[in-house]
Structure 1
């Protein structure tokens, strides 16, 4: 399980090289120095209620705040709540930076960027904001080397998000594998979310923006562009460089430059030699290797001018032959599916029809019976015709499962219209997330789909065919 904004996964931890965020560099010296404690005093707020949210579990802690799993008291939906460290709450600039993160994310509003729902301060001075709760795998936890097609697919989505970030006049400044989350759902290609905008910076500060001291640096050294590392002004090309470092590391298992060469990269007249990825990992196509090398150019003018250009280059070097429709990918077994899965297509030669369930949905005029083609511990997919109930609509229904009728409440979280259903060879309909499922429903769902131990034979699925549809 990944903590969206604290840059950590639990229970494992990152190496110090991945985690450190530096600030305030002396331009006359070869390396930045840390000015803030890397381990702020933690206050466990589990059990506290902030606004409409009850904090249930501490997920992790970063430089600015602690992230908790929380439950919306009224409807029971799970969210993540980021709380500013109490010892920082008295500092006006730090408090401003904390709230700037939420405002930045809301300003961009991109599907590949974590969503912010609410921002507030409690009566006793606790500053917090509420985010969507994501379950997935940070790229820092993928087995290395990552299959080139999968990596390209993930980087393309990161470029889409970055293009929106940069168009909004913002630079992320702390892109790294632990701030990029891969989510997998049955019948879908892996999706990527960009996280943690805690050190993001507007390209053009307004008079009300937090001032930036000369020579001040924010970021993680191993992933920072040379101009950022040296404390110089940065633009979107610094994020392109960081994404290049991420791709290089995941493809080869090595950083482009060891820590000892970072000062040489910034200060020497000529950069230290850099081996192309395909020389370290023969499975990497040479064209993809050249693309990453351009993203890693020391001079920003020699990199891709924008994240969109980087995306186009990735598509040009890995685009496969087109396929008539997207291929649903097998996923690693999971014991929890917070968002209902899209039903997988049966094998073409399998005479056994896929299982279905029946639900009686109540509305203002009575009730209607619908078939359900997919069910999980997180929710259910109902086959129905358009017009669909609006997203986030709450539905009450009776579900027939395991020979019983169980009363349920769900929230509409997904639409699959007719066009999309045809391309996936399934029925149109809506996906619902269960709200406060009863103990009996949970018991029946466990019987229906008992937890399975992940098989070592399951490998990250190839996704190159998906690039043909972008």
Structure 2
């Protein structure tokens, strides 16, 4: 394939359109703001990189994007009005011009209410695409455009760039869907996409889950350099629960994001609208949307957490008498010096981890902590990693006790079974619990 030759089309005419400015560029083409000279209408032009225009398969993929978008035809998907070719082998299509910025440029972490609103609109667009037999395959924050509205209105979202989308039927070109072909952006690709297996709409749900995780916590679920290793490993732990990294994230929202990130497609939401419904339910339930801390790890010189009470609601599908009934959890943390142990009150027990209330100095971040957790009176050995500190100032702001968030490491079968049955709420104590005077784990 020929090497890329930089081309600047600003100020030039492409058909009836005068190119005003460059908006951005990707692997397939460059997007420009342009003006229809006869009526002065603003549009966006996506122009295939000239050095790619000689490849029949790449041209087919470029034009397939425009055809695919028109087949779906949804208000949350960018509209494409025309496809054409200009002298000089300039292949382009004409899109609606949008005022706003990509989701990737919004501040992170994003406020949960706005995040769920935007994710819900993305789900609507994906549901329409999947019903039309189209899988996007490259969903990420750069391809989700937040459209500014009047100050009294919430912004809306448009899904962009169906350049590597896969469609069934006559739109499919043999070179676009070859078996084993891996297309997409690594950090957002589902496990089945990594291995070149056939994908369906659940791969897009996974990518939207990665996007949701990033916008909710400010970081990706897996480190960039270890994405493939962790995503494809059957034994690697799931990402830290978002609510443990950002106390403003409702537990239900955290759980919905983690379900979207399930490694096995069958364990994700089957449809995009189910993901949207779970997001909306998380924001409607006030008992599950209080601030929560993050899971944590080992102690160097660490304070003993003081007790707090965390209430939980039995799962709806279990009879009340069968659901676990404890309303607080106690951990026995052994002092590093071997001079005994300290009882620590825990809150926010979930599949991802728990929160220990303690005063500073905190155990170091990303250190490991071994402790015995009492579950219905049964001692269960646990190991966890410290993933967040909530100091006194933050605790006052959020109306909770200081402490550390812990993420479970390789939980035992006994612990997994208990957590499977447990449906904790986000009810926090009415006031911070007083800290003991001598609270150092030596």
1:224 aligned partner: 189
In structure 2, do the counterparts of structure 1 residues 211 and 260 end up closer, same or farther at CA, with 3 Å as the change threshold?
closer
1:313 counterpart = 2:278: yes
Which ranges in structure 2 are unaligned for 5 or more consecutive residues?
Answer: 287-442
Pair 53,290 (structure 1): closer, same or farther in 2 beyond 3 Å? same
Partner of 1:100: 64
Query: Does 2:103 align with 1:130?
Result: no
Partners in 2 of 1:267 and 1:296 — Cα distance? 12
Query: Match for 1:296 among 258, 261, 270?
Result: 261
CA offset digits 1:50-93 (Å, max 9, x no partner): 22211122222211111111110110011111111111111100
- What does residue 167 of structure 1 align with? 131
Name the stretch that deviates more: 182-191 or 79-88: 182-191
Tell me the SS of whatever aligns to 1:161. helix
TM-score of the aligned structures, taking structure 2 as reference length: 0.62
Q: 2:244 aligns with which of 279, 282, 287?
A: 279
- Cα displacement (A) at 1:204: 5.2
Q: Does 1:212 align with 2:149?
A: no
CA contact (8 A) 2:166 2:177 kept: no
CA deviations over 1:87-141 (Å, ceiling 9, x no partner): 1111100111110011111111111111101111124432111011111121111
Is the partner of 1:95 in helix, strand or coil?
Answer: helix
RMSD: 1.9
CA distance in 2, matches of 1:105, 1:176: 17
How many angstroms does 1:259 deviate by?
Answer: 2.0
Q: 1:84 and 2:15 equivalent?
A: no
Q: Is the 8 A contact 2:32 2:46 kept in 1?
A: yes
1:242 Cα deviation (Å)?
0.5
**Aligned position for 1:404:** none
Rg larger in structure: 2
C-alpha distance in 2, partners of 1:285/1:134?
31
- 3-state SS of the aligned residue for 2:30? strand
Corresponding residue for residue 112 of structure 2: 148
* Residue 269 (str. 1) matches residue 234 (str. 2): yes
Three-state SS of the structure 1 residue aligned to 2:222 is coil
Q: Evaluate the alpha carbon distance shift between residue 112 and residue 260 of structure 1 in structure 2; reply closer, same or farther with a 3 A threshold.
A: same
SS in 1 for 2:92: strand
- Give the SS at the match of 2:75: coil
Contact 2:19 2:33 in 1 (8 A): yes
Contact 2:64 2:171 (C-alpha < 8 Å) held by counterparts: no
Structure 1 Cα separation of the partners of residues 165 and 38 of structure 2: 33
2:209 and 2:224 mapped to 1: Cα distance?
16
1:235 lines up with 2:200 in the alignment: yes
Q: Which residue of 1 aligns with 2:321?
A: none
Quick check: 1:112 aligned with 2:76? yes
Deviates most, 142-151 or 115-124: 115-124
- Mapped to 2, the partners of 1:211 and 1:105 lie a distance apart of 16
User: Which whole-Å CA distance do the structure 1 matches of 2:258 and 2:232 have between them?
Assistant: 20
CA distance in structure 2 between the partners assigned to 1:296 and 1:83 by the alignment: 34
Distance 1:207 1:103, change over 3 A: closer
1:158, 1:233 → 2: CA distance?
A: 22
Q: What SS does structure 2 have at the residue aligned with 1:244?
A: helix
Q: 2:209 matched to which residue of 1?
A: 244
Match of residue 164, structure 2, among 181, 186, 199? 199
Deviations 1:22-44 (A, max 9, x none): xxxxxxxxxxxxxx89x932211
User: Are 2:78 and 2:158, in contact at CA under 8 Å, matched by a contact in 1?
Assistant: yes
For the Cα contact (< 8 Å) 2:47–2:91, is it kept in 1? yes
Contact 1:271/1:298, CA 8 A, preserved across alignment: no
The corresponding residue for 1:121 is: 85
> Quick one: higher RCO (CA 8 Å, sep 6+), 1 or 2?
1
- Pick closer, same or farther for the CA change 1:200–1:208 going to 2, 3 Å: closer
Q: Secondary structure at the match of 1:238?
A: helix
Q: 1:107 & 1:206 partners in 2: Cα distance?
A: 9
How many aligned positions are there? 285
